[in-house]
Amino acid sequence: MTTLKILALAAGTAFLSSGNIPENHSTKSNVESHLPAQKVTLIPANSTLKDNKIQVALLLDTSNSMDGLIDQAKSRLWNIVNTLTTLKYNGKAPQIEIALYEYGNDGIRDENYIRQVAPLTQDLDLISEKLFALRTNGGSEYCGAVIRDASANLNWDSNDKSMKLIYIAGNEAFNQGKINYKDVVSKAKDKNIYTNTIFCGSREEGIQTFWQNGASLGGGKYFNIDSDRKVLYIETPYDSKISECNAKLNDTYIYYGNHGSEYRLKQITQDKNAESQSASNLVERAVAKSKKNAYKNDHWDLVDKAEKDAGFIANVKESELPAELKGKSKEEIQKTITAKSAARDKIQKEIEELSKKRQTYIDGEMKKRGTDDSDDLGKAIESSIVELAKKNGYSL
C-alpha cells in the first residue's frame, strides 16, 4: 500500500485528495472508486490565474458646497475610464468596475447620511446616469462611516493581483462622526483595499483636518484640489471625426430582452449628458466606448452577448428580440449580428487610432501653453491610479 496525492484538472475545477490506494489500481476509474468521498475537496481551477480586475469606488461629498466637485466628476468620468483601460497585467487588460457613493447630504435617509448610489459594476452607462442625477444638499460629512460601508458592502474581488481602490473627496474634517476613520481605513488595507483621499481646499488645511493621515493609514495617496475650478478642455482636429464614429458605433448595437430598449435609450442619453459638459467630454466617452475591456453591454446588446455566449442566439426567444429581427430565422439573426460585430470592430479601431493622434495633439498643446490641468478630481485620480498600478505590477 502507498499514499498517493492525485491532482485532476477537468471542466474548470481542480480536485485534490489523498488516501490509501492499492498500487495495482492505476486507472482513473479504479482510483476514483477508492477515493473516500469525505476527503475530496473542491477548489477553483487556476484560482491564482483568473482575470484581474481594477475596482474603483468613488465616494463623493454631496453637501451644499460641493456642486463644483460633482461637476468635475461628470466631466472626468470617461477620462478616468480611459486611464484605466491603458493598464495591463502580464500583457492582459483587466476588467474594470466602478462603484458610486454619496455622503454628507441631508436628503439621505441614513443616520450617517451615506448612500450606495451604484454597486461595483461594468455597466458604465449606469454609473454615468447615477452621477448626473446627483444633487447637493447641506449635511454632515462622516468619512469614516462611508468608507466602512464601501469597504464592507461592495463586492470586492478576492484576487490578490486585482487593484481595489477607494477615492473619497470632500471638504470637511476627515474625523467627523462616531466611526473612527483610523480603524476603518486600516481594516480596508488589510483586505488590500487602498484608500485615497482628495481634499477640496488648500493642501495644508487637508493635512490639518486628517485627510493626509487617512490616505497614509489606508495605503493610498493624498491630494488637494480646487473643486470650483472648471475642467480644462483642449479641442483638437480629431474631435469631430471621433464624434462621427461614435454615432456609427451606436448603430452597431442590437438590444434584446424585456428592458433592452430602455438600456439602448440610456446609452444615447449618456452620450447627451457627456456632451452637455463639453464636446471634448463626449469624445472622451466615445474613446471609452471603443475599449472592449471597459465598455461591455452583454446584459442588453446581442452583439456583446453573442461574443460572451456563443450558444445564446440558438436559444433566444423571439419575444426577446427587437422588431427588426422578429420573424427571422436563427441563421439570419446570426448573420446580422456577425455583420454588426465586424462593423463595430472596424469603428472601434478607427476611434483608437484617432484617439492616439488626439492625445498627442493635446500633450503638445499643454506643453506649448505651459498649462497645468492637474488641479481637479479627475486628474488627481488618474495620476494616483498610474502610480499605484506600477507598484502593483501593472504596465501602461
Q: What is the mean pLDDT of residues 30-42?
A: 37
315 vs 48 pLDDT, higher one: 315
In this structure, what are the phi and psi dihedrals at residue 40, rounded to the nearest 5 degrees? Answer: -85, 125
Q: Which residues of 30-49 are buried (b: 16+ CB within 10 A; e: fewer)?
A: ebeeebeeeeeeeeeeeeee
Given this model, what pLDDT does residue 375 score? 65
- Contact in structure between 142 and 114 (CB atoms under 8 Å): yes
**The whole model's pTM is what?**
0.84
Computed on alpha carbons and rounded to an integer, the radius of gyration of the chain in Å comes to 25
User: How many residues in total does the chain contain?
Assistant: 396
pLDDT over 80 (residue 302): yes
pLDDT averaged over every residue in the chain: 87
Distance (Å, whole) CA 135 – CA 137: 7
pLDDT digits (tens, 9 = 90+) for 65-108: 899 999 999 999 999 999 999 999 998 999 999 999 999 998 89
Please name every residue paired with 255 in a beta bridge, in sequence order, or none if there are none: 301
Here the cell at position 242 is: 471621433
**How many distinct helices (H) and strands (E) make up the chain?**
14, 9
Q: Which of 154, 57, 140 is nearest to 96 (CA)?
A: 57
Given this model, what pLDDT does residue 374 score? 58
Given this model, what pLDDT does residue 208 score? 98
pLDDT digits (tens, 9 = 90+) for 319-357: 999 999 999 999 999 999 999 999 999 999 999 999 999
- 61 sits in the region (left: phi over 0; alpha: psi -120 to 50; else beta) called beta
pLDDT over 80 (residue 35): no
Given this model, what pLDDT does residue 391 score? 87
Q: What is the mean pLDDT of residues 298-311?
A: 95
Helix (H) or strand (E) holding 61: strand 53-61
Mapped onto helix, strand or coil, the DSSP state of residue 390 is helix
Q: Terminus-to-terminus CA distance in the chain, angstroms? A: 55
- Which domains occur in the chain, in start order? 2-44 (no CATH), 53-231+373-391 (3.40.50.410), 239-369 (no CATH)
Confidence of residue 45 (pLDDT cuts 50, 70, 90): very low
pLDDT over 80 (residue 42): no
